[in-house]
Each structure stands twice: as structure tokens, then as C-alpha cells.
Amino acid sequence: MPTIEKMNRFFSLLLIGFGWVLVSAQTPAKVVPAEQAKPSLPRLTQALQAKLDQSRTRAKFPGAQVGFVFVEGQSPDGAARYRSGSVATGFADLQTNTSLKTSDRLLAGSIGKTFVAALTMLLVQDGKLNLDEKIERWLGNETWFAKLPNAKDITLRMLLNHSSGIPNHVDEPRFLKAVLKGGNQDIKYEELVGFVLNKKPLFAAGRGYSYADTNYILVGLIVEKVTGKKLYEQIIDRILKPNGLDRTIPSDAITLPEVANGYLDGKPVIVKGKFTINPQWEWAGGGFASTAEDLARWATLLYGGRILSETSLEQMMSSTTVGEGADYGLGVMTTPSKWGKSIGHDGEFPGYLSDMRYYPKYQLAVVFMVNFDQTKELNSLLSSAVDDFAGVIIGEISPHRLSTENQAKLQQLTEHWLNLIDTGKYPESWERLTAKLKANHPQQTWRATLHPVREKVGNFKSRKLKGISYSDPQTETVVVDFETSFSKFANASERVVLELENGDWHVASYSIHYDH
């Protein structure tokens, strides 16, 4: 199904590597060194619970889970010791007012592609598949193969990284009509490919990027053809069971055990125990129900290097496409974040949204799952939700933590600089730049750099602190996030990254995010 990444659109003015010295009219209060602290799971889950509850109030979704895994220390043999946990809020069923539990399953949508891609890479390691071999080798004898767009030019790698040029069957009106009309029926997976046969390719094979579930349907057919075993059977036997991911199951039937109800346009997608849209139609394009904690464990296993060889994982993470596809490898999205690079995937199935991310810098996995479909408020939340939950965890597991007093001082400094921008005092804000940054941004061009951005979002109306924490205690980097309302975008957010330089705090980056 379509990804959150494709549906969320936001503007960002990002000035990484540039900075502004934050100096108030008076001498700024001194920010003392970070406190030494030990992680506390009860304190962490309490803080996450509060933030998740606040998110539900803001975005008005029925229920949600946040799962996480972080490295707590080392075992006697030197191996990393992991700690996992999760919190939940709201309801699993609005009709019965049943509370959503952390053990309840939700449909994970396209996050399931990560299981399919990982299994494919295991088969590559086994020598049964070759990423750069034409798929004609495995599917060429199928009666429909010649009608497949770009059929003879597509490689397995192109399917995995969405550079095949094949249209997405999920977007075809005939498919949408069929899935709504045939909600009680299973479908043969080859029939899913049928919705794009004889279609014109979107571009020459390997010469572009266009996200399509159809690519992964074809990967699933190839895997079953090569191994003679069912796709789900192999994922269970090679990935789920050996790693104790017992809350993750194939979503291969119209009834599934212990799955919370989802809501599409305010209506339940499970009625009398049965899905109104059969999840079996998703198959290799997604095809799993899970919990946020189980998926966080999966992200840690996969991206932490415990499933694939180092070479295979490098292949998975590498993109061979450009443009929008430059951040998509083989079933994995690489996304910049305020906590450094994040790796993972997001997912959507009617009535459910999810986002799974792993932050290599912190060896931290965070997953957010909600049993609701798109709304303006939820879209706004999703644009930064996982990063925000990660910030709560990083603030706890970091060897240093900002005190309440220090947070207040840094908030004051940050708001002072932002106020200069709000009131159009660009020369004054320029005066707060370091000499190095003044050289990069001459005074005569400084207003032209920022003013168009503020014109785009409109006049400043209000600003509320979302959070403040260390991004990297070793380099004294702090991230300050605000919920901000502008006249043209009421639900925007601002992010200011501060760095300690020569005893004073400077702005390392400034960004404004809003939904189109």
C-alpha cells in the first residue's frame, strides 16, 4: 500500500553546518554541564506514555502503540545487552470501548516488505538468487510474462528498489473496485500482477524510481518459484521463529487473531470479527500484523546486523537509483533525522498506519503504530512522531541528560533568536552569527535567505515547546523542537539544533516543517 513517506509533504529550510550565536540583550544564564544519569525503564515508559497520550489528544486517533529497543549495556562476554518495551493508548475497538494493549496486533502495511527483502537476501546468500539477473529466468515461462511492462529488462534488484518502471496495481481503479467488491474472497497472487499487464512502462527499466507493491508481488512469486515453498512459510521458519518474533504473523486471511480494529473514514474495518477489506490481497507488498515492540525488535535484529551478512546488509542499504529513489535501498528507506540517519520503512493498510525506524548512532529502534487512516491532524503528527518519541528515549538512555533548569535556559535562548526572525529583525539576527558564518552568509544576502521562507508560511502566531534534549552529548549538541502556528500553516513545527562552541551556544540548523 502507499507509504507515509509518499503521502506526507513538508517544506524544510535546513541550514546544517551554519549557525547563529544565541546572545540575549543581557548576558545569557550559564548552562552547566550535563548530568550523569543511568537509564530508568519506569521513568522512560512514563515519559513515553505521557507523550503518546498527548499525541492522541492532539491528533484524535482511536489508539496507538510505541515500541522501542535500546542497548542497555554489555553482557559478560562483551555482547550488547538489549532492553525492549512499549506503551499503548486509546482503544482497540471504539464500539466496545476496549482499551488497546501493547500486546494487541495491528496491520503493519508496507513494513512487511522488510521481511520479504530480508528473506530474498538470505536466498542470495544461499546462492539461490542473483540480484542482477533478469527476472525472465524465473518467470519467463508464465503465460502472462510477456505482457508485463519492461518484462525482459527487469532484474531482481530493480524489483526490490522500485526501479522496474512497473505501474502500481494498487493505484489501478480496477483493483480498487475489485478489492472493495471482493472483500470476502481470497485472490491468487498472480491475479494481482494482472492489473498492470499490457500497461505502458513508467520509464525504462532501471532508469527511474516509482514505488509499487507490484514489484514485491513479483519478488514473492520468484521466491516461491525458486524454493518450492510458500513465502510466508519461509519467513516464519527463517526469521520469525528463530528470533522469537511471536507477535508477528502473516495477515493472510479475513480473520486474524488478536488484531485491534482499524478505522477508515471513521468506520471500523473489522465487522463481526471479519475484515471488510481482505488483508490477504496485500501479500508480499506488506502482509503482516504485529506489535510495535515486536517490530522494534525486528528493526534491531535486521539493521543491527544479526540477520544478514555484512555484505548483504550493505547491499540492502545501498541505493542504485536517483531522485526520490536515492534514499530507498532494497526494501529499506534511509531518512535524515535530528538524531542522525534513520533506517527503516513505513506502512499503510486501510485503517492502520505505522512507521519503523532504527537510529544507528544510538543503536535505538522505535516503532509507532496507529489504528486510524489519514487525517490532517494525524499527517501532521506523523511527519515527526517517531523522531519525537526517539528523543524521549535518547534523553533517557544518553549518558548525559539536561536538567530542567538547563532546558529552561536553552529554551529562553532559542526563543530569543527566533523572536528576532519573527519580528523581521534580520540585521540583529545576523549580528549573532560567528565570524565564520558571517563569511558564509554576507549581511547583504542574509535577509534574502530567510525572508522568503517566512513569507511562505505567513506571520508568526504562536509557539509551544515540544521537547529539548541532547542529540550528541559528546559534541554538546542539543535539539529544540516547537509546535508553531503561522498564519498560512496553523500546524507547523520548528526545529533548532544548538551546538556548544567556545563556551557559547550557537544554532547549527533551523528548519520549518509543514504539511501541504
pLDDT digits (tens, 9 = 90+) for 266-284: 999 999 999 999 999 999 9
376 CB contacts (<8 Å, ≥6 apart)? 491, 515
Alpha-carbon span 505 to 23, nearest angstrom: 8
CA angle (438 as vertex; 435, 444 as ends), nearest 5 = 150
Q: Which three cell numbers stand for residue 314?
A: 550493505
Q: Which three cell numbers stand for residue 249?
A: 504473523
312 CB contacts (<8 Å, ≥6 apart)? 121, 122, 124, 125
Q: Per residue in 40-96, pLDDT tens?
A: 889 899 999 999 999 999 899 999 999 999 988 776 776 778 999 999 999 999 999
- Report the pLDDT value the prediction gives residue 19, as an integer from 0 to 100: 33
Alpha-carbon span 331 to 118, nearest angstrom: 8
Distance of CA 398 to CAs 39, 72, 73, 86, 401, Å? 8, 10, 12, 19, 7
Residue 103 has pLDDT above 80, yes or no: yes
> What's the sign of the alpha-carbon dihedral 236, 238, 241, 246?
negative
Give all domains of the chain, ordered by start, each with its CATH number. 4-37+402-513 (3.10.450.100), 41-397 (3.40.710.10)
Q: Across-strand partners of 368?
A: 66, 355
> Coil, strand or helix: which one is 375?
coil
Residue 30 has pLDDT above 60, yes or no: no
- Report the pLDDT value the prediction gives residue 395, as an integer from 0 to 100: 81
- Average pLDDT rounded to a whole number, residues 24-36: 42
Top mean pLDDT of 66-75, 145-154, 448-457, 499-508 is at 145-154
Alpha-carbon span 509 to 15, nearest angstrom: 5
- Report the pLDDT value the prediction gives residue 400, as an integer from 0 to 100: 66
Residue 110 has pLDDT above 70, yes or no: yes
Alpha-carbon span 203 to 149, nearest angstrom: 9
Sheet containing 288-290, strands listed edge to edge, beginning at the edge strand earlier in sequence: 106-107, 288-290, 249-250
Q: Per residue in 185-244, pLDDT tens?
A: 899 999 999 999 999 999 999 999 999 999 999 999 999 999 999 999 999 999 999 999
Q: Are 62 and 267 in contact (CB under 8 A)?
A: no
CA angle (341 as vertex; 500, 5 as ends), nearest 5 = 125
- Report the pLDDT value the prediction gives residue 475, as an integer from 0 to 100: 63
SS (H, E, C) 392-438: HHHHHHCCEECCHHHHHHHHHHHHHHHHHHHCCCHHHHHHCCCHHHH
pLDDT classification of 17: cutoffs 50, 70, 90: very low
Please return the burial class of 411, using the count of CB atoms within 10 Å of its CB with bins 0-12, 13-18 and 19+: middle
Residue 499 has pLDDT above 90, yes or no: no
Alpha-carbon span 407 to 286, nearest angstrom: 41
The torsion of the CA quartet 190, 196, 197, 199, rounded to 10 degrees, works out to -170
Write out the H or E segment, with its range, that includes residue 36.
strand 35-36
- Report the pLDDT value the prediction gives residue 81, as an integer from 0 to 100: 85
Top mean pLDDT of 35-39, 308-312, 474-478 is at 308-312
Q: Per residue in 430-449, pLDDT tens?
A: 777 766 777 888 989 988 88
Alpha-carbon span 338 to 441, nearest angstrom: 23
- Report the pLDDT value the prediction gives residue 32, as an integer from 0 to 100: 47
User: Nearest to residue 21, comparing CAs of 465, 437, 480?
Assistant: 437
Mean pLDDT across the chain = 88
Letter for the amino acid at 349?
A: F
- Report the pLDDT value the prediction gives residue 473, as an integer from 0 to 100: 60
Alpha-carbon span 448 to 459, nearest angstrom: 17
Number of neighbouring beta carbons within 10 Å of residue 127: 7
132 CB contacts (<8 Å, ≥6 apart)? 155, 156, 157
- Report the pLDDT value the prediction gives residue 474, as an integer from 0 to 100: 64
- Report the pLDDT value the prediction gives residue 16, as an integer from 0 to 100: 33
- Report the pLDDT value the prediction gives residue 381, as an integer from 0 to 100: 85
- Report the pLDDT value the prediction gives residue 516, as an integer from 0 to 100: 56
Residue 34 has pLDDT above 50, yes or no: no
- Report the pLDDT value the prediction gives residue 25, as an integer from 0 to 100: 30
Does the predicted model carry a pTM greater than 0.85? no
157 CB contacts (<8 Å, ≥6 apart)? 131, 132, 163, 320, 330
Q: At how many degrees (to 10) do helices 292-303 and 112-125 cross? A: 30
Q: Which three cell numbers stand for residue 236?
A: 516464519
* Percentage of the chain exceeding pLDDT 70: 90
Q: Per residue in 368-418, pLDDT tens?
A: 999 998 788 888 888 889 999 998 998 888 766 777 888 899 999 999 989
